[in-house]
Amino acid sequence: MKGGEFVKLKINGELITVPTTINTIMEIIEHFKISNPIVIVEHNDTILEKDAHAVTKVADGDKIELVQFVGGG
Amino acid sequence: MLTINGKQFNSRLLLGTGKYPNFDVQKQAVEVSESEILTFTVRRMNIYEPSQPNFLEKIELEKVSLLPNTAGAKTADEAVRHAKLAQASGLCDMIKVEVIGCDKTLLPDPVETLKATEELLKEGFTVLPYTSDDVVLARKLEELGAHAIMPGASPIGSGQGIINSLNLSFIIEQTKVPVIVDAGIGSPADAALAMELGADAVLLNTAVSAADKPVKMAKAMKLAIEAGRLGYEAGRIPKKRTATSSSPMEGLSVG
C-alpha cells in the first residue's frame, strides 16, 4: 500500500483512514475488531469468498462493504 | 415431509428472525417452534460497534437451514447482489427473492421478482420467490424453475390473515413445487387455514415476534400448522346449508 502513513478507504459508504500497515481485507476485519465470525465482504463491487479475505490486497481509494446476517422475515 | 429442491424437512413452519424483544426470547421461540428453516437478511455492519451480539451466534447452525432474503431490494439487480452476498457466507444455498415494488403495501414487484428469479436460477441458487397471490405470476415463476412458490396471505406484517383464499387455492392446485404461504399471517387460525387449503408450509415472523408472548405463540403456530396439515390430509366434509343429525333417529325410546 502506498501514499504516506494512512490510506483512505470507503467502508460501508464512509470515508475512513487506516494505517498503511493494513494490507489485506483480513487485516481490515482485524483492525475494526469485528468478532462476528460471519462477515461478508464486497471489495470494489466484487463479492469475496471467505478464503479470499487473507489474500485480497487493499489500496488507497478502495470501496469496501462489510455486511452480516441480521434478523429478518 | 416438506421437500425443497431435494432437501427434506420435518417441520412445515419457516420462521423469520426479525423484531423479537430479545435474543433469549427469540432462541426459546425458535426452539419451541421446531422450525428447521430460519430466514435472515444481509445488512451493513456497524464497524464502530463490532462486538454487537448477533443472533446467529445463539443458534445451532447444524440443526437449521438458513434462508436469507433479499429484503431491501427494489430491483432484480439489487436482489441478485443481496443473494450473492448471502451466499458468500458459505452458510446457505437457498434464497428468498423479495423485491418490493410498493412502499405502502410492501407488495412485491412482479416483473423484477421474475427477473431476479430467472437470474438466480441460472446462478445455481435454490430459489424461493415471495410473490403476491397472483395465480398467473405463480405459474410463470414455477415455469422458470423456482423451487417453491411463496404467495403472501396479505401484506407483510399486517396480520390480516388470508384475504384471498380462492387465489391461494388456485395457486396450490396448479403448483407442483412446494407452496409456502408467506407474509400476513396473524393468528394460529390463519396458519391452520393456509395448511387446510393445502399449502405445503407457512413462513411467518411478526405473528410470533410481536405477540405478547412470543414463545407461547411459536408453540401455537407449530400446533396450528400440524393440525391444519392433518386436517388437509384427512379431508374435510363439504359445507351444507342445512343440518344433518349426528345421532341416529332409530331406536328412540320416547316420542
Q: Can you tell me the ipTM of this complex?
A: 0.88
Q: Tell me which residue in B47, B71, B88 faces A48 most closely, judged by beta carbons.
A: B88
Question: pLDDT tens digits, residue range A4-48?
Answer: 689 999 999 999 999 999 999 999 999 999 888 789 999 999 999
The pLDDT value recorded for residue B246 is: 92
A63 by Cβ neighbours in 10 Å (0-12 / 13-18 / 19+) ranks as middle
Q: Which of B14-18, B23-27, B58-62 has the lowest mean pLDDT?
A: B58-62
Q: What phi and psi, each to the nearest 5 degrees, are found at residue B80?
A: -65, -40
Question: pLDDT tens digits, residue range A52-62?
Answer: 999 999 999 99
Alpha-carbon separation of residue B230 from A39, B172, B183, B214 (angstroms): 41, 16, 22, 24
**CB < 8 Å from A in window 15-74 of B:** 16-20, 26, 39-45, 47, 50-52, 54-57, 66, 68-69, 71
Residues B2, B8: Cα–Cα separation, whole Å: 6
For A72, the grid coordinates are 429478518
Whether A69 sits inside 8 A of B90 (CB atoms) is no
Q: Which amino acid, B78?
A: E
Q: What phi and psi, each to the nearest 5 degrees, are found at residue B148?
A: -160, 155
Residues B69, B127: Cα–Cα separation, whole Å: 10
Whether A71 sits inside 8 A of B85 (CB atoms) is no
Beta strand pairing call for A40-43 and A63-71: antiparallel
What does DSSP assign to residue B57? G
The pLDDT value recorded for residue B124 is: 97
Query: Among candidates B195, B228, B194, B191, which has minimal Cα distance to B211?
Result: B191
Whether B89 sits inside 8 A of A40 (CB atoms) is yes
The pLDDT value recorded for residue A1 is: 45
Whether A38 sits inside 8 A of B91 (CB atoms) is yes
Instruction: List the single best residue of B47, B64, B67, B156 to mutate versus A (max A Cβ within 10 A).
Output: B47
For B212, the grid coordinates are 405478547
Chain A residues in contact with B156 (beta carbon < 8 A)? 73
Question: pLDDT tens digits, residue range B67-123?
Answer: 999 999 999 999 999 999 999 998 998 999 999 999 999 999 999 999 999 999 999
The pLDDT value recorded for residue B58 is: 81
The pLDDT value recorded for residue B51 is: 74
Query: Among candidates B81, B135, B157, B88, which has minimal Cα distance to B112?
Result: B81
Residue partners of B48: CB distance under 8 A and separation at least 6: none
Q: Tell me which residue in B39, B44, B156 faces A67 most closely, judged by beta carbons.
A: B44
The pLDDT value recorded for residue B61 is: 84
Q: Are A24 and A52 in contact (CB under 8 A)?
A: no
pTM greater than 0.90: yes
Q: Active-site residue numbers of B?
A: 96
Q: In sequence order, what E strands does B11-163 have?
A: 13-15, 37-44, 65-69, 94-97, 126-131, 150-151
Residues B212, B195: Cα–Cα separation, whole Å: 24
pLDDT band at B49 (very low <50, low <70, confident <90, very high): confident
Q: CB of B80 within 8 Å of any CB in chain A?
A: no
Whether B47 sits inside 8 A of A38 (CB atoms) is no
Rounded (10°) CA dihedral B198, B201, B204, B208: 90
Q: What is the pLDDT of chain B when averaged over all its residues?
A: 95
Q: Are B149 and B131 in contact (CB under 8 A)?
A: yes
The pLDDT value recorded for residue A4 is: 62
Distance in Å, alpha carbon of A2 to nearest chain B alpha carbon: 24
Residue B227 has pLDDT above 70, yes or no: yes
Which residue's C-alpha cell is 401484506? B155
Whether A72 sits inside 8 A of B41 (CB atoms) is yes
Residue B255 has pLDDT above 80, yes or no: no
Residue in chain A nearest B183 by alpha carbon: A73
Chain A residues in contact with B16 (beta carbon < 8 A)? 71-73
Mapping DSSP to helix (H, G, I), strand (E, B) and coil, where does residue B20 land? coil
Residue in chain A nearest B45 by alpha carbon: A67
Residue A2 has pLDDT above 70, yes or no: no
The pLDDT value recorded for residue B56 is: 82
Q: What is the DSSP string of A15-64?
A: EEEEETT--BHHHHHHHTT---S--EEEETTEEPPGGGTTT-B--TT-EE
Whether B41 sits inside 8 A of A11 (CB atoms) is no
Interface of A with B (CB under 8 A): 11-13, 16, 32-42, 47-50, 65-73
